[in-house]
Amino acid sequence: MTIVQVNRNTGEIWYDDARFDTDKRPWFGKLPELATGDFSFAVLGDRCGMATAGVFEKALEVVKDLKPDFVVSVGDLIEGYWSDPADAAAEWEDIDAKIQAMGLPFFHVVGNHDYSNEVMLNVWRERKGFEYYAFRAGDALFLMLNTEDPPSELSDEFIAIIKKATSNVQNDPDNSAAHMQAFYEDIVSLMSPEQLKEMGRIDLAFGEEQLAFAERVLEENRDAKWTFISMHKPGWKSEDKQYQKLIDMLNGRPHTVFAGHLHAMEYSAAGGGERIQLGRTGGHAHGLGPESDNLFLWVNVRDGKPSYRVIHLNGFQEIGSYKPQVHFEGAES
């Protein structure tokens, strides 16, 4: 395995060129030069599945106004699960155009909706080249990893249920609770009790080549003051041995792992590292509490250490929504 490394001082990127011979890239824009080593970035949660129209677009507008140095994703930017590559490409055309219009560097991560079968994998590679890579920003190292390596394919019957529910929720959002109940009932009718139990498991996959890449990049960046890892599925909620190998590689390094998938915001700290499960940024809610709000994460890195602020999109209002009030009868307009 060889790894292409462009000048670290300009914050450019490492990727595994022995496996991926391509000029396509899974990011937009170029990292700015960070003269002080301090910087800020935003992390966006799942846009899909069952995206609510306009939510992710609102997040892009807010992030653009806040002007972070760059933006990181945890995947699931399209609904996916397509068997026709033209359908997958059309979804990517739509969301990629919106992300590019934001005008900020944006770094993609694979989600299960983005990369759900061989067709989706091929479309990803045709458009974005490869699925894992790394970059430096100041004194921090970023590893962007793929938890669908290889993808776990669903049956045609299960995909039909997902497509039906997605259409119902998006076309009739006022009755989304009833549509989600019907979705659950359809799943129960299709699967045995044992299969339903298995559905509650977090299954992820890291190929050996990807882990070898991560190990090599970590070794070559031992001087990094902090390591950030962005992936889609929260590996710490799995029993995956490959994920544990990754965590073992991080032993002794201050680090943060970002993930999504479950559409609920969570924070925990363990073993010298942080685990942050992003809430949704457009996807359907899996709960009713504030952790299930539409939101994104703001990260400041100062002197090599991160701090975090969770920004709820329902906390932002347009100025025109604040109408003048009459405080007493006869007041002048």
Q: What is the pLDDT of residue 318?
A: 74
- The confidence band for 10, taking pLDDT boundaries of 50, 70 and 90, is very low
Predicted confidence (pLDDT) at residue 8 exceeds the cutoff of 70:
no
Interval 305-333: pLDDT, tens: 999 999 999 987 777 777 777 766 555 54
Using DSSP bridges, classify how beta strands 255-259 and 226-230 pair: parallel, antiparallel or unpaired: parallel
Cα 53 to Cα 96: distance, rounded to the nearest angstrom: 15
Query: Higher model confidence: residue 317 or residue 255?
Result: 255
Q: What is the pLDDT of residue 5?
A: 47
How many alpha carbons fall within 13 Å on the CB side of residue 255?
23
Q: What is the pLDDT of residue 56?
A: 98
Q: What is the pLDDT of residue 325?
A: 75
Q: Are 47 and 260 in contact (CB under 8 A)?
A: no
| Mean pLDDT along residues 250-257 | 96
* Average pLDDT over all residues of the chain: 92
Q: What is the pLDDT of residue 328?
A: 62
Please list the residues that pair with 306 across neighbouring strands: 301
Please list the residues that pair with 3 across neighbouring strands: 16
Q: What is the pLDDT of residue 6?
A: 40
Predicted confidence (pLDDT) at residue 84 exceeds the cutoff of 90:
yes
| Cβ atoms within 10 Å of 247's Cβ, excluding its own | 16
Cα 132 to Cα 16: distance, rounded to the nearest angstrom: 8
Using DSSP bridges, classify how beta strands 106-107 and 70-73 pair: parallel, antiparallel or unpaired: parallel
Cα 110 to Cα 282: distance, rounded to the nearest angstrom: 17
Cα 315 to Cα 300: distance, rounded to the nearest angstrom: 20
Q: What is the pLDDT of residue 270?
A: 83
Q: What is the pLDDT of residue 37?
A: 80
Cα 162 to Cα 160: distance, rounded to the nearest angstrom: 5
Interval 136-183: pLDDT, tens: 998 999 999 999 999 989 999 999 999 999 999 999 999 999 999 999
Predicted confidence (pLDDT) at residue 2 exceeds the cutoff of 50:
no
Q: What is the pLDDT of residue 326?
A: 74
